[in-house]
A and B are shown apart, each in its own frame.
Chain A
């Protein structure tokens, strides 16, 4: 596998379910990101991790819980979501340093019923 992979690619869950999204990067990067893309809205940054430490939380509700066990893996734990949380969730990675390009995974299309 090369690049940034995300699983699952599609997820349907009820509001009482707990699920997790997984992201893995094979690029040797040390920064990882979660973005949300809702219909007709710009990509919204959710979280940033640098060397496994969370450096940014963009006012994300606590029903989204990120986890970064190492520089190659990033999880987004979901619980008690709302229908308006239905969106495309994208993971990205980059080298830290301020100007490095971010590389994106294919995304997980989430539908909350």
Chain B
């Protein structure tokens, strides 16, 4: 059973508008969440993270929101740019010092000029 779910395999938005990527998780032991971006033929690159003690973390155009009660997090990109077109993976860490990251299947974002 998947513990981290990204239910939208793809998302298309217009340049300059907001992109919202969603992620749900089932394991209440997760206490740290990350978003990675992946371009074709490259490995995932870290984008932004959030600890479970926070509900928002912002870095430039990227903001991650965490709703612990709903076990839901989202990544907002505003304004979206064509260079943001990539696959975005949500990942979560299990509490207790384990190095294990659990990933979602990814959402392919396309930003149209």
Contact = CB atoms under 8 A, between A and B. Distances in A.
A96 B97 CA distance: 9
Interface residues of B, number: 27
Interface string B27-42: 0000010101000011
B23 to A, nearest CB: 11
A44 B106 CA distance: 13
Nearest to A45: B100
Contacts of A41: 105
Given A90-B44, A99-B32, A99-B51, A31 B99 contact: yes
A41 B34 CA distance: 18
User: For B2, B44, B105, which residue has the most chain A Cβ atoms within 10 angstroms?
Assistant: B44
Contact of B101 (A40, A45, A91): A45
Q: Name, among A6, A31, A42, the residue most crowded by chain B CB atoms within 10 Å (CB to CB).
A: A42
B43 A4 contact: yes
A55 B105 CA distance: 25
Given A41-B105, A42-B2, A42-B104, A98 B43 contact: no
B43 A56 contact: no
Contact of B105 (A40, A94, A104): A40
A29 to B, nearest CB: 11
A105 B43 contact: yes
B106 A106 contact: no
